[in-house]
Amino acid sequence: MSAPESTMDKGAVVAGYDGSEEARKAVRWAAGEAAARGRGLVVAQVVGFPPVPEAVPGGAWPRPGFLVAGQETAQRRAEAMLGDIAQECRRAWPDLAVSTRLLSGRAPDALAGAAENAELLVVGSSGLTALPRLLVGSTADELLHEYHRPIVVVRAGDEPPADDDRKVVVGVDGSETSREAIGFAYDFADRHGCALVALHVWSDLPLEAMAVTPTEHDREIIEERGKPLIDESLAGFRERYPDVRVHRVIAVDRPAHALAEQAEGAALLVVGSHGRGPLRRALLGSVSRAMVHHAPCPVAVVRRHKG
């Protein structure tokens, strides 16, 4: 097992693991990203064995020592699982520094604490069985709200695109949080040789208007107003990442639908955790959650740095 919590985790890529196929896919994604960034990989697993009466036949409270034995068994199993996935990553990325951490407590708190000094936290979108799926889904949702660094959510069904058709999609709304997301997307695209799709969804319309097909004149007005916003949002990044090919897309649609459509076949979708103003924060917050659970590719959720 790895050393206690220390500066060894600073700047690392931390991946949550529970033995499920989705978590395994997330760890391998994290390992590839850690190798590309020149960072270490920390694989963390949260072990808990709560005193639930239903866990004992007949619904009686567990006998003395039952919980201790169960906890020890769960820890041994987790250690073996962590060892296996760590070895798998070392074989695939021989130069990658891989360490493991066995954690206890509430999963969101434990993972956020383990990744406090990390460069990136990566988790799967669901777990082993129906109940773990619910719990891990809740964990991901809590982390989206509370974790202050970028988090990537990966699903087992996410398949990488062909090398000649790689793209990164980022949502653009003109907010400071959107600027953070754009910077993350540019950096990822540059590192992995991807094109960047900067998507602005025109949402300054009444929600009921989304059901009406806009006229050609409407589209011209929307594009006229949207292009300067995208250009202003990308300012500075184009000079910093001159090799990244950028495609600007302006859509009149529900934000979640437009993002999911553009993200088809993407290597990564990047969204901010909130947008401009209280209403937009609520809308885009719900969009980021929708993308985490339904996007056709891994999703990075980026929050605005504080201080």
- Cβ(300)–Cβ(271) below 8 Å: yes
303 vs 6, which has greater pLDDT?
303
Number of residues that this document lists for the chain = 307
* Residue 232's pLDDT band (cuts 50, 70, 90): very high
pLDDT (0 to 100) of residue 132: 42
Rounded to the nearest 10 degrees, how much is the dihedral formed by the CA atoms of 240, 241, 246, 250? Answer: -40
Contacts of 135 (CB under 8 A, 6+ apart): 107, 127
Better pLDDT: 111 or 273: 111
Domains within the chain, CATH numbers bracketed: 13-51+69-154 (3.40.50.620), 167-302 (3.40.50.12370)
Give the Cβ contact number of residue 21 at 10 Å.
Answer: 14
Question: Lowest-confidence range among 32-36, 80-84, 110-114, 302-306?
Answer: 302-306
Helix (H) or strand (E) holding 197: strand 195-201
Q: Residue 156: its pLDDT value, please?
A: 62
Residue 160 CA, distance from chain mean position: 15
Q: In whole angstroms, what is the distance from residue 248 CA to residue 245 CA? A: 10
User: Of 2-11, 145-154, 165-174, 278-287, where does mean pLDDT reach its minimum?
Assistant: 278-287
The model carries a pTM of 0.81
Checking if the pLDDT of 120 tops 90, the result is yes
Distance of alpha carbon 259 from alpha carbon 264, whole angstroms: 9
Q: What do you get for the CA distance between the two ends of the chain, in Å?
A: 35
Mean pLDDT for the chain?
A: 78
**Can you give the pLDDT at residue 137?**
52
Query: Which one has a higher pLDDT value, 141 or 100?
Result: 100
More confidently predicted of 58 and 16: 16
Q: Which residues, 6+ apart, have CB-to-CB distance to 290 below 8 Å? A: 256
Q: How far apart are CA 101 and CA 255, in angstroms?
A: 38
Largest separation between any pair of C-alpha atoms in the chain = 75
Q: Looking at the predicted structure, is the pLDDT value of residue 148 above 90? A: no
Predicted pLDDT of residue 53? 45
Chain CA centroid to CA 82, Å = 21
**Nearest one of 107, 109, 151 to 133, comparing CA atoms:** 107
pLDDT of 90 reads 97
pLDDT tens, 42-79?
999 988 655 444 444 555 555 555 455 556 777 888 89
| pLDDT tens by residue, 260-272 | 999 999 999 999 8
Distance CA(201)–CA(260), nearest Å, equals: 12
Classify residue 87 as exposed, middle or buried by CB count within 10 Å of its CB (0-12, 13-18, 19+): exposed
What's the average model confidence in pLDDT over 289-302? 87
Residue 100 is predicted with a pLDDT of: 95
d(CA 25, CA 155): 7
**172, 200 in Cβ contact below 8 A?**
yes
Query: What is the predicted pLDDT for the residue at 157?
Result: 63
So what's the pLDDT on residue 254? 82
| pLDDT for res 204 | 52
pLDDT in tens, 200-222: 987 655 444 445 555 555 566 66
